[in-house]
Structure formats: C-alpha cells, structure tokens
Amino acid sequence: MSEYYCPNCGADLENQPGFAPDAGGWTCSECGQFLTNPEDVNSDAQFDGVGWFCDGCGAFLNKQDGFNDLYGKWTCIECGYENQISENDIYESEDDYQSIKSDSFTYDDDEEYNHHQKEMARRIAEAGVSVNEERLRREEEQRKMHRQRIWRTLTGKKQNVGISSNRCCKMRCDEVIDYLRKQEFYNFNTRAVEDLVSSTSVKEGMVKSISFNGTDMFDEETKFPYNAQIDIVYHTLKRIKPPITSKSAKRRDIDDVMWEFTSAGFENVEKLAIPDLKKGWIVKEDSVEAITINGRTDFKKSDKICVNANVVISYHVFKSK
C-alpha cells in the first residue's frame, strides 16, 4: 500500500485522479469520505480535526495563511467571502450541509447569495475569461505550483529569505507571511501567544519569533529550502478566566467582587449603582445584583476572556443615593 490511503475504506489515494498530498483536503472517490492532513490543522484549533470550506467559492480554508477557527469569522483569501466559523457551522457531510442550508435559507440569504455570485461573475467577466476558463486556469496554476514544489524538494534548491529575523519581529504576522509567499516559501505554521495587556495592545498580531527549520537567526541573504517549515509565533491579548459567575456573585458585597475581578487581571471593571432600596432588610445595601462581561451575564468560570473586556458590576443602594 502507498503512503497515502483512505483510513475509511483502505483505497490507495495516489491512484485517484487529481489527488495531491499538499492540497490539504481530499474526498475519497471510492467511499466519499473527506480526508484532511492533520498537519494542516492549526495546533491552537478550537475544533480538532475539522476541515473548513468557503461558502462562497469552496476553497479549503485550513490551508489559507493565518487561518484559525478561534476567530469566529474568516474572510476567504480566494474570493473575499466572509465565512462564519462556529460549532453551528460544522456538518457531518456535504449532503448534510446542502440539505440543512436549503431548508434554512431565507429570501434575504438567497438575495445575498445571488448578489455574491453575480459579483464574482462580474469580476471574472471584467478579466475577459469565462467561469470555466477561470476554474481551469486556477487548477493549472495549482498543478504547476505542486510540480515546482516537488522538483525543488527533490533537487534541494534553496531561496534567499530576503528579510532578516530582526526585521520580521517588527512586522505583523500576516505581513511577514505575505512577503515570504512572494519569495515562494509556503510551509507556514503559526501560533498565538497571549501575552498582551491594554497598554501593549499595539503589538497585537506582531511577530514574537520566527524560525526556518528551527533556525531563528538569519539575514536577507540567508538561504533555506523552498519547503522549509516556517514557525511564526505572534502576540495576542491575554485571556483569563473570570473568578466567579454572575449568579454566584449575587448578594455579595460590591467591594469584595470588585477586588476579585481586578486581582484576576481584568482591567476595565466598573460599578453600576441601582438606587432601588427603601429599608434594606431583605436586600442589603451594596449587595451585588449582577455582573456583565461585554454585555453578557451567561459567562462561565471556564471561559477565557480578554483582559480588556468591559466588566460591569451592578449593585443595590438606597434611593436617596
């Protein structure tokens, strides 16, 4: 059996026309099972092993530079369509996806979809090619790129980085990837480090470290193989867990609850007085009524929330106040 086979039915994938290991995803022509390469799934992925496709053009999103399902939304690099990324958007099969979508479309969704398709057709028409010609052109470009990658790997060819490691650490992650793609490097692995607070939030998305096959010090003239693994670590805002829930904080003293949230690391904690007490026998003065984080009260202690989230703690006071 070859190196590439279907774990569902055992079919030899290399015998299936059009199969390319670097494509990221493949539907077995024998059993219809969709397969993904585990190496193409970000190690920080929220939904382990899920392959994401663009609802606009069908492109495999997991292979697009910088993609991570933690974002909640992703704009396809191929066609510009904004895709929703959540647990509600995961389907067991293509048939499930089509049946559910056909049942759930409203008139507005259809209108938006038709507008998107017309816009895509207009852009292609402006380029002077038919939809089929554009599809064939892209497929030929992908085949050509695949052949080039195989040839460069076999011959051990190398390419100048064109940029130093020091310079990379002063740029955004997406900017570095765009630059290196122009140098024809393609094997990227990105990882976010949650180490920023509000005072350093300007560094969000900035590269913290970068390495080619484990080498993290290089200059413009340094050469690496085209298929070198490029590991990029970048900064993001720190996320922390809330010390208590809104329900468990109810009737507790406002100052105690404020202290717990600020001690946990939350930076934007506010008090909101509710002047509704007359005697304070049942509900005591300064007792907490509810907590909202970015407008929500249904947060859990296991949730990871950005340190600069807006935390509002409402509490009871006498009407005279």
Read off the pLDDT of residues 81-110 as tens digits, 9 standing for 90 and up.
788 887 766 665 555 555 544 444 443 455
Structural domain boundaries enclosing 233: 158-237
Residue 144 belongs to a domain = no
The CA distances from residue 183 to 143, 174, 307, in Å, are: 19, 14, 37
| pLDDT one-digit tens code per residue, 104-163 | 444 345 566 566 666 666 655 555 555 566 667 777 776 766 666 666 666 567 889 999
Chosen domain end from 181, 210, 237: 237
Q: Are residues 232 and 265 in the same domain?
A: no
| pLDDT one-digit tens code per residue, 172-203 | 999 999 999 888 888 899 999 999 998 998 99
> How many domains are there within the chain?
3
DSSP assignment of 197-242: -GGGGGGTTBEEEEEETTB----TT-EEETT--EEEEEEEE-EE--
Rounded CA-CA distance 301/80 in Å is: 36
Residue 27 belongs to a domain = yes
Q: Are residues 192 and 169 in the same domain?
A: yes
Residue 18 CB neighbours (<10 A) = 9
Pure H helices in the chain: 94-104, 107-126, 131-155, 165-168, 173-182, 246-249, 254-264
Q: Are residues 254 and 233 in the same domain?
A: no
Instruction: List, in sequence order, every residue forming a beta bridge with 188; answer none if it has no partner.
Output: 230
Is residue 24 within 8 Å of 9, Cβ to Cβ? no
| pLDDT one-digit tens code per residue, 237-283 | 999 999 999 999 999 999 999 999 999 999 999 999 999 888 777 88
Chosen domain end from 237, 271, 303: 237
Element (H, E) at 312: strand 310-318
Q: Are residues 33 and 89 in the same domain?
A: yes
- Local structure of 91: helix, strand or coil: coil
Task: Tell which residue, 303, 154, 135, 131, has the closest CA to residue 226.
Answer: 154
According to the model, what pLDDT value does residue 67 have?
79
Residue 43 belongs to a domain = yes
Task: Retrieve residue 71's tokens.
Answer: 């974002």
Dihedrals φ, ψ of 291, to 5°? -130, 135
Name the pairing type of β-strands 239-240 and 305-306: antiparallel
Q: Are residues 176 and 117 in the same domain?
A: no
Average pLDDT over all residues of the chain: 79
Chosen domain end from 237, 256, 272: 237
Residue 149 belongs to a domain = no
What is the percent of the chain with per-residue pLDDT over 90, rounded to a whole number? Answer: 42
Q: Are residues 124 and 19 in the same domain?
A: yes
Rounded CA-CA distance 137/32 in Å is: 26
Q: Are residues 173 and 110 in the same domain?
A: no
Which range is most confident: 8-12, 13-17, 298-302?
298-302
Task: Retrieve residue 24's tokens.
Answer: 């990221």
pLDDT at 43 over 80: no
The strand order across the sheet containing 188-196 reads 188-196, 230-237, 207-212
Residue 260 CB neighbours (<10 A) = 17
Higher pLDDT, 38 or 63: 63
Residue 108 belongs to a domain = yes
Quick one: pLDDT band at residue 58, thresholds 50, 70, 90? Answer: confident
Dihedrals φ, ψ of 53, to 5°? -125, 150
Average the pLDDT over each of 40-44, 69-73, 216-220 and give the range with the smallest value. Answer: 40-44
The predicted model scores a pTM of 0.51
Task: Tell which residue, 291, 286, 277, 290, has the closest CA to residue 253.
Answer: 286
CA 231 to chain centre: 17
Q: Are residues 233 and 251 in the same domain?
A: no
Q: In terms of C-beta distances under 8 Å and separation of at least 24 residues, what long-range contacts does 129-136 make, across chains too?
A: none
Is residue 228 within 8 Å of 187, Cβ to Cβ? yes
DSSP state of 109: H
